[in-house]
Amino acid sequence: MKGSIAAGLKLAISGVLFSLLLTAGVNAEALRIGSAVEPKSMDPQLTALGSDLGYYRHVYNALVEADESLRPQPGLAESWTVIDDTTYEFKLREGVRFHDGSAFDAEDVLYSFERLPTVPDGDGLTAAKLKSVSEIEVIDPHLIRIHTSTPDSGVLRALGQFFILPKELGEVATEDFNSGDAVIGTGPFKFDEWRRGDFLRFSRNPDYWGEAPQFDDVEFKMLSNSASRVAALRAGDVDLIDYVPPLDALRIKQDSDLNLFTIPAGRTILLLLDAKRDMTPHVFDKAGNPLKENPFKDKRVREAISKSIDRNLIVDKVMDGLAAPASQPMPVGFGGYADDLKVPESDVEAARALMAEAGYPEGFKMTLNCTSGRYINDTEVCQAIAQMVSRIGIEANVDALPPSAYFPEYKNAAFSAYILGWGNSSGDASSILTSVGHSADKTSGRGSWNHHYESAELDALIEQGLGTVDDEKREALYADAMRKIMEDVAMIPLHAQLVLVATQKNLEYRPTANEWTLAQNVSLAE
Amino acid sequence: MIFAITRRSFQALITLLILSLLAFTAVYAIGDPILLLIDAQASSLEQEALRTRLGLDQPMPVQYLYFLQNLMSGDFGRSFVSGEPALRLILERLPATLELAFVALLIATVVGVPLGMIAGLNAGSRFDRVVSVFSVLGFSVPSFWIGIILILVFSVQLGVLPSFGRGDTATLFGIASSLWTFDGWRHILLPATNLALFPMALLIRLARAGASEAVRLDFIKFARAKGVTTRRIIFVHLLKYISISLVTILGMQLGLLIAFAIVTESVFSWPGTGKLIIDAMNSLDRPVIVAYLLIVGCIFVIANTVTDLLYIVLDPRIRSGGGNDPR
Amino acid sequence: MSDSILAVESLTMGFDSKDGFVEIVRDVSFSVRPGEILGIVGESGSGKSLSAYSIMGLIDPPGRISAGKIWVGETNLLDLDEESMRELRGTRIAMIFQDPMMTLNPVLRIDTQMIEAVQSHFNITRRDAIARSAAALERVGISDPYSRLRSYPHELSGGMRQRIAIAIAVLNSADVIIADEPTTALDVTIQSQILYEVQRLCAERGTSAVWISHDLGVVSSLADRVCVMYAGQIVEQGPTEDVIASPRHPYTAGLLASTPGRGTPKKPLSQIRGSMPTPGSIPSGCAFRERCDFAQERCLDAPELRGATGEDRFVRCHFPFGENGASK
């Protein structure tokens, strides 16, 4: 009796295993992407989170679109001219159809613009970026003029996240987008299905006006757990994954069955020091008593700290070589990049001398506030910094908090020495200069992330740049602002993160600096 | 019986009310969700505007009262993140988690109870020792690590099972589930096994203790004296006798599994409520967190009530009020 | 005796402990003829229950049978493998236990527990098995058997449960029923009912019984022959009336004298001084030596179980009553 049960069990188990081996076939026309971040919704006007925008770019187009270096290129607008300081004229592309067959024209631009600020529960970010737009004038179905109330150089780039919806939608709510009914755009893909937390599927738009994508179907599988995401690629369950953890990236580089693609991302990691207040909370003498003055107010101390940090070493050892040491708070190639600035060299001797000159030959104690799990290896980077500044006598205690706890404290100006990773999604210096470079100003809303530094000179440069519509002139001003920041040690940039994408051997990918994972950038390897 | 049910329901309601208050307060005390919802590059004006729009500028007691008011009409609020009704978000994902919990419990029972019983009947043997060590491992080794190992072995190395996700679903009797498809079973096998390890370890130990204790009882000897086969003694007499204590544990475990499938769902990207709650906690999406806690609280209460009822069904002594002979 | 249905020959069993093998049942022999009721009397710890378990093959490690033979008909049970033994249990030899509370599985219905006694041995439909069970219940004096069958053990009284146990024992028409103190836990009126039923069954069907008890009174009214056990050994054996009327072993006499109801009213109960030795600390020579008022130097030698030839009367004593030697 016992024998036959055992035999029966063995037979059953082998039967099950055998049938499992006959795994489901893989569709060669479908691209499977393992995504780290899921879209919050399919309403392109609800939020402007960078992770969401990438998804919208598959089914929608904007008037202008960012290339790999985030420079504006023609999208639904074939060309544009700057008429004057407050007027842009856009020539709209003809013969473009939405997925439902309706034709694209100026009325659609107008409709999309009118809906933008009205989306309930939206973050209103895109609307805010286009705040200066006072009117969109329709000259003819394929020619419009955008008028701004004040000269605003950021408008052009801001249009890159302003996706065009068909006016035929009429009154439509975010739910209609999330269910897929209202997701109708002009993009290279059509919306297929979205199961939240599970997958998002698009299928090829055969009537696309631009370059046709190489795949019939794209399925984004939501794999937020990085270990599982990498395992899925290894197992062949997906063809491409984004946000590859650096340690795995190294191994993937060496793996002949997989490819790794990188590009410096817009995100730069900065060390900020409170140079504004007379007394700052987190600095102590060696005995643990709070210091009466704020050492960071002295530029020599800031410079000493910057000099004591070996950025190359951090990139090599903490980031496994997968980051680009920063010479300024913005990556190479972005609008306003100052080519003449070099990555600050580590010079411990000079740093010690500066500390002594400033009156701190023995150094002091401080708390270094850090995020945990927000940026790649953030806590480890902070620990490396703490070690490095110890060489000039500064005893740094790293206090790491998860983002949900860190940022509220940040906003309350609770920190003295702290970390920030800035995303620069505009593709030029305007974003960081506005929010972190410019001093805090409630009326204009500028400097909302700046609690640590104030300079009228820098403010003037920034304001001038923001109001300069001419590209060349504006970027020259931004470059000046960059130089001023580095000279005055208003911020201490460390490195720019890399976009890390891995694929199966037979695929190639063109990454973009805004960290968007785009199926249209995937091609079969030669 | 009716009275008992009513009383228990009332207690449950009080529990849920307190739970909602605790959850609400705790999330409020942690931090400001605005900064996590909005892109960092938004100005302070935009942030204030969003705050007002979401009603986060009101004092906490006011917010809580609004919440309760909405609760009465079945409105659990809208997710701060996606704008969708929190209740709908959770109910959408709940079937996947229920599937996972159910299959995990099935595996734990089908594997754990016989193993434990045989170990208990052969107490002190090598088999017993091996099983005991295995059950301790089930408690102590982190489920996250085991999950990754399972993926590495079965998906990466052997390539026989998928490394993530839920399989295709089909609808039977009006219920859509991935358990009706072969692809569904391929996908659920690894995560369910991962989730099953903890309750399995528990069941092994309970079954073992129950069996080794019960086998000394007189009625087992009497059954043997009747010439009943060993197989029947184990699977009818012994099993039915220890099933009472097992069922109690199983009932509690079901609630725990549903609530804490988080790690497994995260590792295997199983689209259930576990992953939803983690994302909600990271972005301080209070409506979703509170709605989740309440719904899971309900499930716990229901699971415990059903367990109590099952207890009555399984133990005939309780059914008729204890019998006429004192024990 | 070759016409006996059950014959235990020099049975020795005990437990393996860290101090070695401790004997509990020491060289016990008895036999039962068809239709005969044999009583085994002794205090708790005398080894009588374990003798019964040994016959049924229900000794679990660390206990084991170290010597002897157990004959049922022509078969030595100790030669049989487990499966053959299982086939015998419930069909040729059946057992009734002491505590009716725990003998039946509290979570299974009566019918389940009765029909399995039949279905474990014979290929019989459930309906037929139920019918047989109902008939057996009626035979032991249970009215309305079908509703009893659908009950659970805890819904029935102790006396009822014991009757059911008896019914189970006779379900398959066993040749020998071994009853281990089945009425000890019941009150006196029920007890006599049970005794009556057993007697009737045995008479009707020619079933033999081994009735184990510490109560001489019960045994005296029921058994045809009786064995008295002390410290794992049989110390006296013979027809019941004879043993009760003229006990030959001092222990038997002491037992009889200390039984309530036998002494004269108002006279203090006599007791045997001391207590029975535990296994492992049994004195050398006669095990009863230290408690015996008539012990002499000769008793340092262990006495054999002896009887006069031709007589069915045995005693393990150097100075038994009623022979040359001590008087009562």
The tens digit of pLDDT for each residue in A156-183 reads: 888 988 999 999 988 888 888 988 899 9
How many whole angstroms separate alpha carbon C182 and alpha carbon C191?
9
What are C317's two structure tokens?
A: 């004593």
What pLDDT sits at residue A66? 87
What pLDDT sits at residue C170? 84
CA-based nearest residue in chain C for residue B216: C60
Q: Are residues B128 and B256 in the same domain?
A: yes
What pLDDT sits at residue A12? 58
DSSP A234-266: HHTS-SEESS--HHHHHHHHH-TTEEEEEEEEE
What pLDDT sits at residue C110? 92
What are A430's two structure tokens?
A: 């305007």
What pLDDT sits at residue C325? 40
Nearest Cβ partner for A228 among B37, B42, B163: B163
Q: Are residues B131 and B206 in the same domain?
A: yes
B324: chain C residues, CB-CB within 8 Å? 154-157
Q: Are residues B186 and B262 in the same domain?
A: yes
For residue A434, the 8-state DSSP code is I
Is pLDDT at A304 greater than 50 in this prediction? yes
Please give the single-letter amino acid code of residue A403: P
Average pLDDT over residues B216-244: 88
Contact at CB, C108 and B240, closer than 8 angstroms: yes
Is pLDDT at A23 greater than 60 in this prediction? no
Pairing status of strand C225-230 against strand C37-41? parallel
Q: Do A402 and A448 contact (CB within 8 A), yes or no?
A: no
Angle at alpha carbon of residue A223, lines to A217 and A226, rounded to 5°: 130
How many whole angstroms separate alpha carbon A326 and alpha carbon A323?
9
The CATH number of whichever domain residue B277 belongs to comes to 1.10.3720.10
CA A464 distance to own-chain centroid: 25
Is pLDDT at A313 greater than 90 in this prediction? yes
Q: Do chain A and C touch: 3 or more Cβ pairs under 8 angstroms?
A: no
Q: Does any domain span residue B50?
A: yes
Q: Are residues B163 and B122 in the same domain?
A: yes
Q: Does any domain span residue B80?
A: no
A:64-93 residues touching chain B, CB 8 A cutoff: none
Average pLDDT over residues B229-249: 86
Q: Do A358 and A300 contact (CB within 8 A), yes or no?
A: yes
Average pLDDT over residues B62-74: 78
For residue B57, give its domain range. 2-71
CA-based nearest residue in chain C for residue B230: C86
- Least Cα separation, residue B207 to chain C (angstroms): 17
Beta bridge partners of A191: A202
Instruction: List the one residue out of B307, B247, B270 whose CA is nearest residue B100.
Output: B270
Interface mutation target, options B100, B161, B163, B234, chain A, most CBs of A under 10 Å = B163
Q: Do B108 and B196 contact (CB within 8 A), yes or no?
A: yes
Residues of chain C with pLDDT below 50 are 1, 324-328
Under DSSP, is residue A411 helix (H, G, I), strand (E, B) or coil?
helix
In the numeric block, the tokens 């099953």 are attached to B196
Contact at CB, B324 and C105, closer than 8 angstroms: no
What pLDDT sits at residue C267? 66
Counting every residue written for chain A, the total comes to 526
Reported pTM: 0.72
Q: pLDDT tens-digit profile of A215-237?
A: 999 999 988 888 889 999 999 99
What are B65's two structure tokens?
A: 């009262």
Please give the single-letter amino acid code of residue C42: G
For residue C265, the 8-state DSSP code is T
How many whole angstroms separate alpha carbon A330 and alpha carbon C215?
102
Q: Topology of A44-50+58-174 in CATH?
A: Dipeptide-binding Protein; domain 1 (3.90.76)
Q: Does any domain span residue B215?
A: yes
CB-CB neighbours of A451 under 10 Å: 21
Q: Are residues B168 and B121 in the same domain?
A: yes
Q: Are residues B32 and B115 in the same domain?
A: no
Q: pLDDT tens-digit profile of A105-155?
A: 999 999 999 998 888 767 677 877 788 889 999 999 999 999 999 888 888
What are B13's two structure tokens?
A: 């309601």
Q: pLDDT tens-digit profile of A278-288?
A: 888 999 998 88
How many whole angstroms separate alpha carbon A427 and alpha carbon B15?
52
- What is the percent of chain B where pLDDT is above 90? 18
Please give the single-letter amino acid code of residue C184: T
Contact at CB, A225 and B160, closer than 8 angstroms: no
B324 lies within 8 A of chain A by CB: no
Q: Are residues B166 and B26 in the same domain?
A: no
Please give the single-letter amino acid code of residue A513: A
Beta bridge partners of A150: none
Interface mutation target, options B32, B39, B54, chain A, most CBs of A under 10 Å = B39
Interface mutation target, options B219, B232, B247, B312, chain C, most CBs of C under 10 Å = B219
What is the residue-averaged pLDDT of chain B?
82
Under DSSP, is residue C38 helix (H, G, I), strand (E, B) or coil?
strand
What's the domain count of chain B?
2
Counting every residue written for chain C, the total comes to 328
A483: burial class by Cβ within 10 Å (0-12, 13-18, 19+)?
A: middle
What pLDDT sits at residue B327? 37
In the numeric block, the tokens 């590859």 are attached to A244
Is pLDDT at A14 greater than 60 in this prediction? no
CA-based nearest residue in chain C for residue B231: C120
Under DSSP, is residue A394 helix (H, G, I), strand (E, B) or coil?
coil
Secondary structure (H, E, C), A2-41: HHHHHHHHHHHHHHHHHHHHCCCCCCCCEEEEEECCCCCC
Q: Does any domain span residue B66?
A: yes
Beta bridge partners of A240: A33, A503
In the numeric block, the tokens 């302070």 are attached to B44
A28 lies within 8 A of chain B by CB: no
Nearest Cβ partner for B224 among C89, C108, C112: C89
Q: Do C213 and C39 contact (CB within 8 A), yes or no?
A: yes
Q: Are residues B98 and B141 in the same domain?
A: yes
Q: Are residues B66 and B94 in the same domain?
A: no
Please report which confidence band the pLDDT of residue A17 belongs to, taking 50, 70 and 90 as the band edges: low
Please report which confidence band the pLDDT of residue A27 belongs to, taking 50, 70 and 90 as the band edges: very low
B208 lies within 8 A of chain A by CB: no
In the numeric block, the tokens 């007697």 are attached to C199
What is the residue-averaged pLDDT of chain A?
88
Beta bridge partners of A271: A419, A492
What pLDDT sits at residue A20? 46
How many whole angstroms separate alpha carbon B268 and alpha carbon B190?
8
What pLDDT sits at residue A15? 55
What are A509's two structure tokens?
A: 């990918």
- Least Cα separation, residue A180 to chain B (angstroms): 14
Half-sphere exposure of A150 (CA within 13 A, CB side): 12
Q: Are residues B106 and B66 in the same domain?
A: no
Pairing status of strand C225-230 against strand A258-273? unpaired
DSSP A174-198: HHHHHTTTT---SSSEEEEEEETTT
Per-domain residue ranges for chain A? Answer: 44-50+58-174, 264-498
Instruction: List the one residue out of C69, C121, C62, C119 whose CA is nearest residue C92.
Output: C121
Q: Does any domain span residue B79?
A: no
Nearest Cβ partner for C121 among B218, B227, B317: B227
Domain A264-498 annotated CATH 3.80.30.20: no
How many whole angstroms separate alpha carbon A38 and alpha carbon C226?
88
Chains that touch C (3 or more CB pairs under 8 A): B
Interface mutation target, options A20, A118, A432, chain B, most CBs of B under 10 Å = A20
For residue C133, the 8-state DSSP code is H
- Could you tell me if the ipTM is greater than 0.90? no
More confident residue, A309 or B169: A309
The interaxial angle of helices B286-314 and B2-30, nearest 10 deg, is: 150
Is pLDDT at A28 greater than 50 in this prediction? no
Q: Are residues B121 and B238 in the same domain?
A: yes
Q: Does any domain span residue B77?
A: no
- Least Cα separation, residue C148 to chain B (angstroms): 14
C55 lies within 8 A of chain B by CB: no
Secondary structure (H, E, C), C270-324: CCCCCCCCCCCCCCCCCCCHHHCCCCCHHHHCCCCCECCCCCCCEECCCCCCCCC
- Per-residue b/e over A258-290, b at no fewer than 16 CB within 10 Å? bbbbbbbbbbbbbbbbbbbeeebebbbeeeeee
More confident residue, C238 or B251: C238
Is pLDDT at A184 greater than 60 in this prediction? yes
More confident residue, A187 or A37: A187
Under DSSP, is residue A112 helix (H, G, I), strand (E, B) or coil?
helix
Q: Are residues B134 and B263 in the same domain?
A: yes
- Least Cα separation, residue C220 to chain B (angstroms): 27
Is pLDDT at B324 greater than 60 in this prediction? no
What are C123's two structure tokens?
A: 């290929």
In the numeric block, the tokens 């679903």 are attached to B169
Under DSSP, is residue B317 helix (H, G, I), strand (E, B) or coil?
helix
Interface mutation target, options C154, C168, C177, chain B, most CBs of B under 10 Å = C154
Domain end among B71, B100, B126: B71
C154: chain B residues, CB-CB within 8 Å? 316-317, 320, 322-325
- Per-residue b/e over A178-196, b at no fewer than 16 CB within 10 Å? bebebbbbbbbbbbbebbb
- Least Cα separation, residue A121 to chain B (angstroms): 6
The interaxial angle of helices C158-171 and C126-139, nearest 10 deg, is: 120
B:43-82 residues touching chain A, CB 8 A cutoff: 43-47, 49-50, 53-54, 78, 80-82
Is pLDDT at A335 greater than 80 in this prediction? yes
B271: chain A residues, CB-CB within 8 Å? 195-198, 222
Instruction: List the one residue out of A291, A282, A311, A272 whose CA is nearest residue A421.
Output: A272
What pLDDT sits at residue A376? 85
Counting every residue written for chain B, the total comes to 327
Nearest Cβ partner for B317 among C94, C112, C154: C154
A405: chain B residues, CB-CB within 8 Å? 30-31
